[in-house]
Copies of this chain bind each other. A is one copy, B any other.
Amino acid sequence: MTPPGVLRQRLEATMEAAGGRPVLVTARSSVRYVSGFTGSAGALWIPLEGPPVLVTDFRYEEQAGIEVADSAATSQSSSAIRTHISREGWMRGVAQVAADPGGAIAFEAEGLTVADYESLRGMLPDVDFVPLRDLVRTLRRVKTRDEVDAIERAVAVAEGALNRLLSTMEWSAAPSEREIAAALEMELRLGGSDPLPFDPIVAAGERSALPHATPTDRRAEPGDFLLIDFGARVDGYCSDLTRTFVRGVPAPWQVTLHEQVLEAQTRAGEVIGPGIACRDVDRAVRETFARHDVEGFFGHGTGHGIGLDVHEGPSLSSRSDDVLERGNVVTVEPGLYLPGRGGVRIEDDVRIGEAGARTLTRIPRALVRL
């Protein structure tokens, strides 16, 4: 449970980021961040005067009352959040509470589809809207101690699940990607994860060269790479880890590929820290790959922030203008993918501190044989 004082700070920071306009918070994770409400449908209306209002629909009536009341329970401030339930969906509810906003309404541009935006404009034809990017997402980049704790617990749940998977799976029976994924999902949930932040990627053999493969009936046979990219969610916060294993004895090219990725990931870890441009971390990875003449086999970015969403800011890519600061938690996940042969990715979660960075992931990165 987020302390009411922290929620109040987030409310005030959101209003400030909107430049003194009334604000509509629409992204699910941002609504949770500012109000404590965890439902999948709803918005937070922050007027210029009077209390903020969490708007949702009938399905969440009881839940919204509990969650928002809890977060406001000890708050004496007039900014304690009220709830408004609409039987005709949350958008109609927003139209009811925001009919007379006293100014153009700022909203989260990432949190609304063009279709919903047009519906809302149709319901409030006399109101001006101002789409703002990264309105709440910018605030969310800098994690509090409690948020980092939740991410660390999500890392611990993920690592525990992977360890149990590695020791309980009958690898000699060549389980399929689908069987491995199902067992991993169960270990994650039994180990304490809330609904998973994303469907695990389990890719065997040549399929490990597909960076976003979904599990199939392909079996993990001797000599195959086995790439597993997965995460847990604890108290709303995500972890995101990748390890690449090999069934049996690795071929020389597999050892080399894994070493190159490990070297690049280590290099990124040496560069990363507060005040460092994200693109410089990405460049460290690319330069390592270039030295081995394999940079053409790495096509995605080096990493991304994690938090209430599994993909959030800052972005560690070559086109990023972000600069790392204390409180950021990001993935570092270089990979090399040889089409038709196989791929390797190694992904850790890293917290940026005051003077350096700390890797939250503890499982070894060496090439493990299954």
Q: Mark A174-208 against chain B: 1 for CB-CB distance below 8 A, else 0.
A: 00001101110110011000111001000000000
Indicate whether A112 sits within 8 Å of B109 (C-beta atoms), given known contacts A61-B299, A131-B118, A189-B185: no
Roughly how many angstroms separate A61 CA and B340 CA in the complex, as a whole number? Answer: 12
Report B-chain residues with C-beta under 8 Å of the C-beta of A60: 210-212
Q: Mark A206-220 against chain B: 1 for CB-CB distance below 8 A, else 0.
A: 000111111100000
Q: Mark A91-124 against chain B: 1 for CB-CB distance below 8 A, else 0.
A: 0000000000000000101111111011000000
Min CB distance, A361 to chain B, in Å?
22
Roughly how many angstroms separate A113 CA and B113 CA in the complex, as a whole number? Answer: 4
- Residue A133, interface by CB 8 Å: yes
Report B-chain residues with C-beta under 8 Å of the C-beta of A114: 107, 109-110, 112-114, 117, 131
Min CB distance, A209 to chain B, in Å?
6
- Residue A331, interface by CB 8 Å: no
Roughly how many angstroms separate A182 CA and B83 CA in the complex, as a whole number? Answer: 32
- Asked if residues B211 and A59 are in contact (CB atoms below 8 Å), the reply is yes
- Asked if residues B186 and A59 are in contact (CB atoms below 8 Å), the reply is no
- Residue A319, interface by CB 8 Å: yes
Roughly how many angstroms separate A60 CA and B210 CA in the complex, as a whole number? Answer: 7
Interface residues in A332-348 by Cβ distance below 8 A to B read 339-340
Chain multiplicity (copies) = 2
- Asked if residues A210 and B117 are in contact (CB atoms below 8 Å), the reply is no
- Asked if residues A113 and B109 are in contact (CB atoms below 8 Å), the reply is yes
Report B-chain residues with C-beta under 8 Å of the C-beta of A109: 113-115, 118
- Asked if residues B199 and A299 are in contact (CB atoms below 8 Å), the reply is no
Roughly how many angstroms separate A156 CA and B364 CA in the complex, as a whole number? Answer: 41
| Nearest B residue to A85, CB-CB | B299
- Residue A88, interface by CB 8 Å: yes
- Residue A63, interface by CB 8 Å: yes
Roughly how many angstroms separate A88 CA and B301 CA in the complex, as a whole number? Answer: 10
Report B-chain residues with C-beta under 8 Å of the C-beta of A113: 109-114
- Residue A126, interface by CB 8 Å: no
Report B-chain residues with C-beta under 8 Å of the C-beta of A38: 214
Report B-chain residues with C-beta under 8 Å of the C-beta of A181: 189
- Residue A49, interface by CB 8 Å: no
| Nearest B residue to A117, CB-CB | B114
- Asked if residues B133 and A58 are in contact (CB atoms below 8 Å), the reply is no
Indicate whether A213 sits within 8 Å of B61 (C-beta atoms), given known contacts A114-B113, A182-B190, A195-B199: no
- Residue A57, interface by CB 8 Å: yes
Report B-chain residues with C-beta under 8 Å of the C-beta of A199: 195-196
- Residue A39, interface by CB 8 Å: yes
Roughly how many angstroms separate A189 CA and B187 CA in the complex, as a whole number? Answer: 13
- Residue A62, interface by CB 8 Å: yes
| Nearest B residue to A137, CB-CB | B115
Report B-chain residues with C-beta under 8 Å of the C-beta of A213: 63
- Residue A87, interface by CB 8 Å: yes
Roughly how many angstroms separate A181 CA and B188 CA in the complex, as a whole number? Answer: 12
Q: Can you show 22 pairs from A to B with CB atoms below 8 A apart?
A: A40-B212, A58-B211, A58-B300, A59-B299, A59-B300, A60-B210, A60-B212, A61-B299, A62-B339, A62-B340, A63-B212, A63-B213, A88-B319, A109-B113, A111-B113, A115-B131, A178-B189, A178-B190, A182-B185, A186-B186, A195-B215, A196-B199
What are the 4 tightest A-B residue pairs by CB atom distance, in nearest-first order? A58-B299, A182-B189, A195-B199, A109-B115
